[in-house]
Chains A and B, each alone.
Chain A
Amino acid sequence: GAVVSQHPSWVICKSGTSVKIECRSLDFQATTMFWYRQFPKQSLMLMATSNEGSKATYEQGVEKDKFLINHASLTLSTLTVTSAHPEDSSFYICSARAATGGGYEQYFGPGTRLTVT
């Protein structure tokens, strides 16, 4: 149980275009989903917290107009990187926390590797 998927697993796009990444909780409902970015050989940096049906909360320094987050249902959150630039190339990982049980654990997706050329 507690499986989180991401799609696509990798994507290459041209500078200036937009890319959408999907995060799905497959066997549980997730009230809260989190989006992280991880550069090579670095730690996970939280970008934003996404709650179903409400606006995402962005971390300091993360441009909300550039990284659009939508959490339309209890099983799906999307991250859209708008007007992507080479410096946006990174490993994007989502996680989800179950809506029930009061647990603290976050279940991570497999990540999406974005390369902007």
Chain B
Amino acid sequence: GENVEQHPSTLSVQEGDSAVIKCTYSDSASNYFPWYKQELGKRPQLIIDIRSNVGEKKDQRIAVTLNKTAKHFSLHITETQPEDSAVYFCAAAGAAGNKLTFGGGTRVLVKP
């Protein structure tokens, strides 16, 4: 089955700096890669996603890049703000966008 590795597990950045989280996946058939933000005790919220036919996608301060050959994808948050502090999860889904396999999560702390 699919295996998703996520790094780093914790990330502390100064407000205004950029944050980068990286994920690798094992199943070359995976074709959908969402990123979720989860605050303590709350549901995961989709913040951005990318399909395998696209190499990069951007939404305001958030961007995701995908390298299918290397089987890795990354989340980039620019101009970080304290409200960006949360746990971020990457995930990968295989054929027909079926079940999601989640990475281990990254706890991001943005220091004011």
**A-side interface residues toward B, CB under 8 Å?**
34, 42-46, 49, 91, 93, 97, 103-106, 108-111, 113
Does the CB pair A104–B44 fall under 8 Å? no
* Contact, CB under 8 Å: B43 / A111: yes
> B89 in the interface, Cβ–Cβ < 8 Å?
yes
Chain B residues near A111: list those with CB within 8 A: 41-43
Set of chain A residues within 8 Å of B102, measured between Cβ atoms: 43-46
Size range of the interface on B?
20 to 34
Tell me whether A34 and B43 are in contact in the complex, defined as CB-CB below 8 angstroms, given that A42-B105, A104-B49, A104-B93 are known contacts: no
Q: A93-B43, A110-B43 are in contact. Are A104 and B99 (CB under 8 A)?
A: no
Docked-complex contact A46 and B100, CB < 8 angstroms: yes
A contact residues around B51 at 8 Å (CB): 104
User: Does any Cβ of A come within 8 Å of B8's Cβ?
Assistant: no
**Quick one: which of A42, A43, A44, A110 contacts B42, CB cutoff 8 A?**
A110
**Bound-state Cα–Cα, A44 to B44, Å:** 9
Q: Once the chains bind, are A105 and B46 in contact (CB under 8 Å)?
A: yes
The 6 closest A-B CB pairs, nearest first, are A104-B97, A108-B43, A104-B32, A43-B102, A44-B102, A110-B43
- Report the Cα distance A83→B51, complex, angstroms: 41
Shortest distance from the beta carbon of A11 to any chain B beta carbon, whole Å: 15
